């Protein structure tokens, strides 16, 4: 997941305690939740003004926790200072709460936010809110669009199964490719005025590992705004 991930935007098998008689949901093979896993990613951002940023991101699974809002969920922690709680059932894997370091208690999501939705077949779609992670104003402050504009709804779709993906952590097969698309209306320049700017993301979830790669694109091509691309690549996991 990207640092802001959405993700927040924008990543194996759940213990038997959660398994139905038919076994755990197939989606858990592609997004492990149980304690003891650790993923190290490199997040590389390239902007239209020829600048760039590179930073590491570490995600760890901490096990099942009880939430004050009710029930239990599986906790994942990002070294960016954000904790996520997720659940899994026959409908897929979904986030139910988040917590930043400055918050005392987890904040429940108003509605489940799916990471992977069942069935794991080409054409399965779902929606979740996203924000801009790359678009920036060239003059105003704060420059990041995400600080001043409301999130927009992104539509996700399973585009392919059985994909092969190569990363610095290794070569993976049997991966699910998910694509997401959204539009954010922003003031581009005095001539064009407001313009619908596309936000697109492609994610790969590999069986036995989880999320291995994300590609995000937020082009601006505007005098007032700068856009860019971001790649999140797995470099180490356990």
Domain 16-237 has CATH 2.40.360: yes
Q: Where are the domains of the chain?
A: 16-237
**First CA to last CA distance, the chain:** 16
Q: pLDDT tens-digit profile of 76-115?
A: 999 999 999 999 999 999 999 999 988 989 999 999 999 9
Nearest to 229 by CA among 49, 6, 45, 56: 45
pLDDT confidence of residue 23:
57
The pTM for the full model equals 0.86
- What is the radius of gyration, based on Cα positions, of the chain? 18
Q: In the beta sheet, which residues pair with residue 126? A: 156
* 3-class state of residue 32 by DSSP: coil
* 3-class state of residue 113 by DSSP: strand
In the predicted model, is pLDDT for residue 1 greater than 60?
no
31-49: average pLDDT: 96
């Amino acid at each position: 997941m990207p640092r802001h991930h959405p993700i927040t935007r924008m990543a194996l098998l759940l213990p038997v305690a959660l398994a139905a008689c038919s076994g755990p949901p197939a989606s858990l093979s592609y997004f492990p939740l149980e304690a003891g896993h650790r993923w190290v990613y490199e997040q590389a951002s390239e902007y239209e003004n020829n600048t760039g940023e590179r930073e590491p991101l570490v995600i760890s699974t901490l096990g099942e926790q009880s939430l004050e809002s009710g029930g239990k969920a599986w906790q994942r922690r990002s070294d960016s200072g954000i904790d996520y709680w997720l659940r899994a059932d026959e409908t897929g894997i979904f986030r139910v709460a988040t917590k930043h370091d400055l918050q005392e208690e987890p904040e429940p999501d108003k509605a489940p936010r799916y990471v992977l939705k069942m069935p794991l077949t080409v054409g399965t779609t779902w929606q979740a809110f996203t924000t801009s992670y790359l678009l920036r104003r060239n003059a105003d402050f704060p420059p990041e669009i995400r600080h001043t504009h409301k999130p927009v709804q992104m539509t996700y779709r399973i585009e392919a199964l059985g994909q092969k993906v190569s990363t610095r952590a290794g070569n993976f097969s049997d991966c699910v490719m998910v694509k997401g698309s959204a539009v954010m209306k922003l003031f581009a320049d005095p001539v064009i005025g407001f313009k619908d700017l596309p936000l697109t993301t492609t994610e790969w979830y590999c069986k036995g590992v989880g999320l291995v790669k994300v590609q995000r694109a937020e082009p601006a091509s505007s005098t007032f705004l700068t856009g860019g691309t971001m790649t999140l690549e797995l470099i180490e996991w356990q």
